[in-house]
Amino acid sequence: MPSEISSAPAPPAAGGDRLLEVIGLSSQYGPVRAIHQIDLGVSAGELVAIVGGNGAGKTTLLHTLSGLQPASAGRISFDGQDITRWPPHRIVAAGICQVLEGRQVFAPLTVEDNLRLGGYRQRRDSAWLGQQQERVYTLFPILAERRRQLAGTLSGGQQQMLAIGRALLGRPRLLLLDEPSMGLAPLLVEEIFRVIVELNGRGVTILLVEQNARAALAIAGRGYILETGRIAKTAPAAELLADDDVRRAYLGY
């Protein structure tokens, strides 16, 4: 089960059969085009980063993948199925789970209730949910300590952990992470990124969207540069880190 965070190491990231295949995807808010003609693929076991500045369309892209934002053109296929027009709850059930930008935990509910709601689509499989919840608590011991506390009273870093834990309870076959480093202190960013690497090591396929390009490309296998709604460049992450244009525009040296 690739979604189990305690499962075997990731299969090799090869081309060929893509878990997620996006072709010519566009989305717009009214007449304003947010993303345009995006081609993108993620294979099972990969950790792929999408980096770009503010307003480049990163969040719109993720929201379109998870069904929160309608696509105006193009096609998204997941595990061979066309999911372009699926409603969000079906996409979650299929295994695409999103960690939203800015955490967005259910503040007035307890940590435990947040996690249980993360497993809403898996609610009939209580045995798996129980195990997975324990795994999340092992991954983030602080959440276990605060399981009865209201999510809104957690610190930003803890809320980010809760948001990731909540998504993990959705049994992700593909985990979408939207700006997990946003607003966190450098030490916490390091901690969160360490967990992302660990999850990927345990077989979770991850699509990571980040403004913090250096940190994201440092852990990703491949990367896409998103500029004003279009893919400007794609390459193995190491190449992007060494690329002069990318360095000047996104890494600041």
Partner 1 sequence: MPEQLFQFLVTGITIGSLYALVGLGFALIYNASDVVNFAQGEFVMLGAMTAIALLNAGLPLLVAAVIATLLTVGVGLLLERFAIEPAAGASVVTTIIITIGAAIFLRGVALLLWGKDFHSLKPFSGDAPIQIGGATVLPQSLWVLGVTVVLVALVRAFFNRTLLGKALLACAFNRTAAQAVGINVKVMLRLAYGLSAGLGALAGILIAPITFSSYEAGVMLGLKGFSAAIVGGIGNPMGAVAGGVLLGVLEALGAGLVSSGYKDAIAFLFVLMVLFFEPTGLFGHKASERV
Contacts of 77 (CB under 8 A, 6+ apart): 20, 21, 22, 23, 83, 84
How far are the Cα atoms of 89, 112, 175, 240 from residue 209, in angstroms, in the given order? Answer: 21, 26, 11, 15
How far are the Cα atoms of 10, 61, 65, 133, 224 from residue 35, in angstroms, in the given order? Answer: 30, 7, 12, 35, 14
According to the binding rule CB under 8 A, does residue 236 interact with partner 1? no
According to the binding rule CB under 8 A, does residue 121 interact with partner 1? yes
Indicate the pairing of strand 20-29 with strand 96-99. Answer: unpaired
- Binding residues for partner 1 restricted to 53-82, rule: CB under 8 A: 66-68
CB under 8 A: which stretch of 4-12, 25-33, 38-46, 118-126 binds partner 1? Answer: 118-126
Partnered with residue 222 across adjacent β-strands are 48, 236
Indicate the pairing of strand 81-82 with strand 73-78. Answer: antiparallel
According to the binding rule CB under 8 A, does residue 93 interact with partner 1? yes
Q: How far is the CB of 109 from partner 1 (least distance, A)?
A: 7
Tokens 């893919």 locate to 231
Cβ nearer to partner 1, comparing 106 with 128: 106
According to the binding rule CB under 8 A, does residue 170 interact with partner 1? yes
- Exactly one of 4, 39, 79, 117 binds partner 1 (CB under 8 A); that residue is 117
Cβ nearer to partner 1, comparing 36 with 63: 63
According to the binding rule CB under 8 A, does residue 85 interact with partner 1? no
Which helix (H) or strand (E) element contains residue 194?
helix 186-201
According to the binding rule CB under 8 A, does residue 120 interact with partner 1? yes
According to the binding rule CB under 8 A, does residue 98 interact with partner 1? yes
According to the binding rule CB under 8 A, does residue 130 interact with partner 1? no
Using CB under 8 A as the criterion, which residues of the chain lie in contact with partner 1 when the complex forms? 66-68, 87-89, 92-93, 97-98, 100, 102, 104-109, 113, 116-118, 120-121, 123, 150, 152-156, 159, 166-167, 170
